[in-house]
Structures are given as structure tokens and as C-alpha cells.
Chain A
Amino acid sequence: MGSRASSLLREEDIEEIKKETGFSHSQITRLYSRFHSLDKGENGALSREDFQRIPELAINPLGDRIINAFFPEGEDQVNFRGFMRTLAHFRPVEDNEKNKDPNSGEPLNSRNNKLLFAFRLYDLDRDDKISRDELLQVLRMMVGVNISDEQLGSIADRTIQEADTNGDMSISFSEFIKVLEKVDVEQKMSIRFLH
């Protein structure tokens, strides 16, 4: 009877996700509905193709990198828990006031974790460093064919020069944080729900 999306999500699951991500009950059920509508194969998990079917994401120059952020190393499927865990990075920081739990550790949507999400977008091989080559590749994704290799190269060099403090010609996470310390990360990397 009415075997629809929300009935497959149990109350215990919702509570666990609430604790882990900080989303509210109604936000979780709504996102589950969204997850279910993207899951064309109806197997409880999303593949990369499922994401690419969203036209607005397919035309995003960094679409592939964003999709990649949902999939753990070496995996091709992401389940609802993983989906929520990644989306949790984009919860507004103000919302945390409601669910203050001293034992929960650093919330997924802390400033640090938001910056980590952005850092990982650049760090293609996941070695915790942004090399010149990786920076070039991401730049190339963003500009397409419109900028020459030379100009892109000099942009990459300058960027690393400005950020690199320990001289290893690559940007570590702490150097990344330092460069962006004045940027309003909380505002720019957050999604506000209307309810």
C-alpha cells in the first residue's frame, strides 16, 4: 500500500542521520524524496550517471569534480547516508545552534570542513596537496578552450607562489586555509532551506 519513497526510510534511520548531519526531520524526508527521484535504477544507491542526468549540473564546469565528492575512494555507488553526509557540508553554520551536542565532535558543516570540501575539489589524487599540475587541470575545466596554456600556467604559478609558505611548490591544507582566512566561507558554501 503506497510503497513510496518516504515509507522506505525508517524513523531510526532518520534519527541517526539527524545526529550525524544536523539536518531536521522534514529536511531529511524531503532530501530522501529527491534521492529517490534521482535513483533511476531504484536500487537504493546513486551512480555517477544518475547525477549527470541533472542538466544544470551537467553544464557546470566543475560538475564532474562535485559529483566525485560524493563517491568514496574507488566506489561507484553512493547510498543515502553517504549522500546526506556530503550534502551536510553545505548546511548553514547558524543552524548548528539548535542541535548543540558537546560530544558530537566537529560538525560536518564547520568552516574547516567546508574548506576541506573545496580543497578536495582541487586535490585530484587525494594526497593532501594541491600540485601545480592539479591546479592546472582544474583551471582548464573552468575555462575550457578560451585561455592559452601559457597564460593558465602563469596563473597557476602565481597562485602557488602566493599561497605556498613552506616552499614545496604545492599547497597544503593549512596553506589553503591561510590564504582564504578572510573569505566568508560560511555564507558562500552554504545552502539555505526555506523550511
Chain B
Amino acid sequence: MWISVVLALTVLPAMFGLSLGFTDLYIKVLVKTLEWAALRIQRAQKVPAVPCHLPNGIIQKGDSSMEEEIVELRRMHPHPLTGGNFTLCDTFYFCKKGIESIVEDQVTQRFTSEELASWNLLTRTNNNFHYISMRVTIIWGLGVFIRYCILLPLRIILAATGLSWLVIGTTLVGILPNSNVKDRISDLLHITCYRICARGLSAKIHYHNKENHPKKGGICVANHTSPIDIVILANDGCYAMVGQVHGGLMGLIQRSMVRSCPHVWFERSEMKDRHAVAKRLRDHVADKTKQPILIFPEGTCINNTSVMMFKKGSFEIGKTIHPVAIKYDPQFGDAFWNSAKYSMVAYLLRMMTSWAIVCNVWYLPPMSQQDGEDAVNFANRVKSAIAHQGGLVDLSWDGGLKRGKVKESYKEAQQKMYSSMISGINLNGSWEVTVD
């Protein structure tokens, strides 16, 4: 009886997209508590703790080029440089760059969770546990109790409800003959179930610039932090999902979803064939009655401090791209899925025992490929727009570096650049006079 009341209170508002205000109140209380805790921690600490990942990094890095740096190094060299410019101090440039990257690099930090400015009373984010005061410890203990004994069971029930309704509902809707009514019911069903799931995470989402919402027949691209991104976006509209066919529970959900409205699921073997993939996406997008497809061009989860290289595949299809930026507030819960460290189940449990998931979603104005612009440049342009809106660092590095090695061609490019300084010849063909 108790459970059905709770369910009624959550399902009905979910269907109509209304909020009863519980989450808002909860977040307000949480913010006040965390501010208070931060003050107490600061007061109690003798050595001020500085967070590890400051926005400007921990070391000073110049932004001059290899050529500028080496020319400056050589300025102090006593001997005139003739016929082949090399000095023993050239290595200093590479030494310094190498040591700088050992102390701090732009890539490896993106594959682990962001460090917080002040502790948010979760054990998992505790870097230096010192006993601060009885009051903070009590609040922390209370937090543990609330999160694990009250919120967790509630959230599991909600998530289970949302998912099972999704499976059952879509299967039932699939029986109906294809028609406008069927589409509308399917949309409503999808949105309701995703909203229930979002409540299962205590998600508070701010959607900005709704006038730019992705339209049918378009392609929606967003930065990727976790599988939860799908729930976040699907709370405000219906998308056709794109992904690999899975087995088990995920596979079951995928099979039932596709019964009520078209999604694009690929077999593992199909994914290898880029042309086949592109063709299927193109066919889907060409049909203006189908929902916009949702793609994450980074190809892997990044920790929401930066946007990494966008794979060009989605940008070659030739349709309007609707970029979306998603930024989570790490104070309430770390949304990043570190798949090397946590399995999906462990990750979801961590999500459900966090305080909440608070995030901002910005819909950016649609972008199209310009004349003479190739897919890679187009992808980079979209990536920059998303990074700029979300306040994320715009990186050219490939998210695949999470697991794989960097390509030799980057080192070869460095060697080529240095070689042109030594030989005085611009290796792209023309002759160049080097500065002495």
C-alpha cells in the first residue's frame, strides 16, 4: 500500500512532466548542508588543501611553438650556426616538454573522476580524511544512513519500475498497427519511463534553449560522460538510439524498444563496415517521420571536464547536426563511468547512493557542413561549440587513448618539425632561411 502511494506520486507526474517539488527542496537543503560542511572543514585544516586538478593546471606552461623555443635557446649559443643547424642545447626543449607532461598532461586526467574543490560528504570522494569535528562526522553518518537505507531502496524500486514498464509497454505498443496514434503513445510511453528512471537517480536537469531542440530527420550529437546521458536527454524528447546489440538485460530492453519505434541497433560485425553503418544512419535520417538519432561521437565516456576528438562518421552523413552540451555538477554525485574500474552494476549502485545527479543541458543552434569543409573540420567545429557552451576543455586527443596507444604519426610530425629546423629546409618543399 505504501509502495503504491509512492508509485502513484511518481508515475502520474512523470506522465505529465510535472514536478512535485520534492527534489527541488531536497537539493536546496543539500546545498546549504554542503556549504556549511565546507566552511567547517576549511576552518579546521591547518594546511590549506588545494585540489589536484585546478582549472589552469598545477604548472606554468608556455604556449610558444617548438620553433620559437629552440630559436631562443640557440640565441645564447656562442658558435655561429652554418650548414646544418644543431646545438647541444636543443634537447632542453624536449626535456622540459617531457617533464612537464610527466607532472601534468592533458589526456590521462580525463579518464578518472574530477577532483572536487571541497569534500561533499561522500566517503568515495574523501582524499584526506582527517577527523574534523563531531558535527561534521554526525552529518556524514546521517548522510550515509539516508543514502543507503532510505534513498537507495526507493531509487532501485523506481528504476526497476521504469525499466519494466519500458519493456512491457513497448512490447504492447508494438502490437498496434502502424499509425499516428501508435507513434504518439510510443513517445509518451518512452518519455514517462525515462522520467521515472530519472527520478530513480534523483536527477535535477536544467534544459536551456529549448527552441533549438533536435528535430525529426536530424542528428543529435552530445558529449559523453556516462550511459545516464541517454536518460538525461530522453527526459525532454524522443530520440532514436544508436548502438551495438547487447545480450542479457540490455538486449531485452533493446529488442522491446525497437518494437514500438525505430532505433538503430548494429550487430558487432556490422560496426566494422563503416559504409554499412553510414548507410543505415542515412536511411533513418532521410525518413522525416522518424525521431532524430542520438550519437556520441567521442565513442567513449570522458570525465566531463573536456570534450575529446569527435569521430567523423556521423558528420559525413550530410544532414543537419543538432549539438547538445551536457554538464554535470560534480558536487552532488560523480556521473562519470570509469568502465575500467567499475562494472555497469557497480556504477549504477554508485549513482544511486550519491546525493543526486544535477546537470545542465544546452541545446545549441543547428549546424550544417559548409561548402568546401571536410568532415573532420566540421566535426571539430561542432566539438568547439559544445565545449564552449558547456565550459569544457576542447581537446583534439582521441578518447580511444583510454585503452589504446597513441599513433606513431604524431611523433613523426614532431620529428619532421624539428628536422626542418636542423636542415634549414622546409620539408614541405620550399627553401627557408633560418634565423641565427
Among B13-67, those with CB < 8 Å from A are 47, 50, 52, 54, 56-60
Which of B76, B90, B99 makes the CB contact (< 8 A) with A142? Answer: B90
**B52 and A62 contact, CB distance less than 8 A:** no
Counting CB contacts under 8 A, is A45 at the interface? no
Query: Looking at the complex, which one of B89, B98, B423 makes contact with A188 (CB distance below 8 Å)?
Result: B89
Cβ proximity bits B151-178 to A, threshold 8 Å, 1 near / 0 not: 0000000000000000000000000000
Inter-subunit contact A194/B59 (CB<8 Å): yes
Q: How far is the CB of A94 from chain B (nearest CB, A)?
A: 13
Instruction: Tell me which residues across on chain B come within 8 A of A5, comparing CB atoms.
Output: 127
Q: Is the CB of A62 within 8 A of B96?
A: no
Interface flags for B57-100 (1: CB within 8 Å of A; 0: not) read 11110000000000001001111000110111111111111111
* Contact of A144 with B98 in the complex, beta carbons under 8 Å: no
Shortest A53–chain B CB gap in Å is 7
A62 touches B98 (CB 8 A): yes
Asked if B92 and A118 sit within 8 Å, CB to CB, the answer is yes
> Within 8 Å CB of B54, what residues of A?
194
CB–CB A51/B102 < 8 A: yes
Closest B residue to A148 by beta carbon equals B423
Measured CA separation A7–B126 after assembly (Å):
10
**Are A2 and B129 neighbours in the complex by a CB distance under 8 Å?**
yes
Q: Are A147 and B423 in contact (CB under 8 A)?
A: yes
Establish whether residues A188 and B104, one from each chain, have CB atoms under 8 Å apart when the complex forms.
no
A residues 1-36 near B (Cβ < 8 Å) are 1-2, 4-7, 25-26, 30-31, 33-34
Bound-complex Cα distance A195 to B53 (A): 12
Report A-chain residues with C-beta under 8 Å of the C-beta of B79.
Answer: 162, 179
Q: When A1-B129, A2-B126, A191-B59 are in contact, do A58 and B76 touch as well, CB less than 8 Å?
A: no
Q: Which residues of the other chain, B, contact A195 by a CB distance below 8 angstroms?
A: 50, 58
> Given A62-B94, A146-B416, does the pair A191, B99 have CB atoms closer than 8 Å?
yes
Is A126 an interface position by the 8 A CB rule? no
Partner of A189, one of B60, B84, B95, B397: B95
Structural contact, A59 and B401, CB atoms closer than 8 A:
no
Using a CB–CB distance below 8 Å, which chain A residues touch chain B? Answer: 1-2, 4-7, 25-26, 30-31, 33-34, 37-38, 51, 53-63, 66, 87, 90, 117-118, 121-122, 138-139, 142-147, 151, 154-155, 158-159, 162-163, 171, 176, 179-185, 188-195
Q: List 10 A-B contacts (CB under 8 A).
A: A2-B126, A54-B107, A55-B108, A57-B98, A147-B419, A147-B422, A180-B88, A183-B92, A188-B89, A194-B60
- Knowing that A7-B129, A143-B418, A194-B57 are A-B contacts, what are 4 other residue pairs whose CB atoms are under 8 Å apart, sorted by A's residue number? A30-B58, A118-B91, A118-B95, A181-B78
Chain B interface residues toward A at CB < 8 A: 47, 50, 52, 54, 56-60, 73, 76-79, 83-84, 86-109, 112, 123, 126-129, 397, 401, 405-406, 410-412, 414-416, 418-420, 422-423, 427
